[in-house]
Amino acid sequence: MSATDSAEGPPQRTSRLVLALLALLALTALEVAVVSLPVDRTARITALCGLAMTEALLVLVTFLRIGRQSRLVRLAIFAPLVLGPGFGVALMLDAAFRVTQR
Amino acid sequence: MSISDRPSPGVKAVLSPGAMSTSAAGAAALDPRSHAEAATGPSVGQVGMWVFLATDAMGFAGLLMAYAILRVHADQWPDPQERLAVLQAAVMTGLLVTSSFTMTMTVRAARAGRAGARALWHATTVVLGVAFLGGQALEYLHLASGPHGMGLATDTFAGTFYAVTGYHGLHVLVGLAILVGLFVAPRVRVRSLEVASIFWHFVDLAWIPIFAFVYLLPVS
């Protein structure tokens, strides 16, 4: 288990790191562009969540090299990442239910 | 990660008395022990950092959850894009993401024993981190003195905004203090840089949902 360029694995190629950086910058720009699109709010939120999750996954895989970590560490990192949005969705559904019951 | 009475070679390397000593000779030089350590398994510091980050991630998740609950149950929620400088925040995101890249290059250079390149990438990471914090300070200043006069207690939006971004900003500040400490240290071990890089990447990772949900999430 290590941070970047894990001791257990070969070092990443610089070109791959640069590509990841460019992808992250492009995803950030896309996020800004998506929210100002003249489309349905739900579609914008879905796209925004998808872009943000892709960005987070890219950081986890490329910079933190999560694939090379032990199963326990992966679980410890993914649990809040999965539970967070899960609770968020549950709260939104709850809010929508309450609004319809008023 | 398996639990064993026998520490891994990497853990042994850190626990050994020789590994704990430091030398003041050779400013910003790489510790010669670094190469031997780099070829071994996880260090105590790395394991400790992952455990800390697992709990810290819960802290961020809790804050974002509180933000979501308050936002969902609020009768009115201002459009973040009207109050906040979204483009500036996007540039700050770019700075933080780039600093993760430079931090990775710092560790790579240190592992390869290239002290000069390591110092250059390390300094770039610190500069990018300072630029991010500077951007955040400017943003706070602008918000507090702007037309809305957004203070901590102005409304729920303002309170949650300052709490979430301030909590993250403190992490950036701590990360910068660690990076500067390592930069000015007479000798730097690869292990120390690796542990610092885990924290720095986590700071970058934590900002991604903050930027998406606090700055960009559109209101109905």
Instruction: Give per-residue pLDDT as tens, B16-32.
Output: 333 333 333 333 566 65
Same domain, A78 and A101: yes
Instruction: Give residue A102's pLDDT.
Output: 59
pLDDT tens per residue, range B155-193: 899 999 999 999 999 999 999 999 999 999 988 889 999
Q: Which residue of A has its CA nearest to B79?
A: A35
Same domain, A91 and A64: no
| 3-state DSSP assignment of residue A42 | helix
- Considering only A4-8, A56-60, B175-179, B186-190, which range has the smallest mean pLDDT? A4-8
Report the pLDDT averaged over residues A93-102.
66
A81 in a structural domain: yes
Same domain, A76 and A61: no
Mean per-residue pLDDT over chain A, rounded: 79
- Intervals of chain B under pLDDT 70: 1-42
Same domain, A64 and A25: yes
CATH superfamily, domain at B45-216: Cytochrome c oxidase, subunit III, four-helix bundle (1.20.120.80)
Q: Which residues contact B119 (CB under 8 A, 6 or more apart)?
A: B28, B183
Interface contact A51-B57, CB threshold 8 A: no
Residue A75's domain comprises: 69-102
Percent of chain A past pLDDT 90, that is, above it, reads 27
Query: Crossing angle, helix A71-101 and helix A41-58, to 10 degrees?
Result: 170
Best B4, B72, B95, B124 member to test A by mutation, with max A CBs in 10 Å, is B72
For chains A and B, count residue pairs whose Cβ atoms are closer than 8 Å. Answer: 146
Contact B151, B163 (CB under 8 A): no
Domains in chain A: how many in total? 2
Entry pTM = 0.79
For residue B121, give the nearest of B132, B106, B108, B133 by alpha carbon. B106
Q: What residues of B are in contact with residue A35 (Cβ under 8 Å)?
A: 81, 216-218
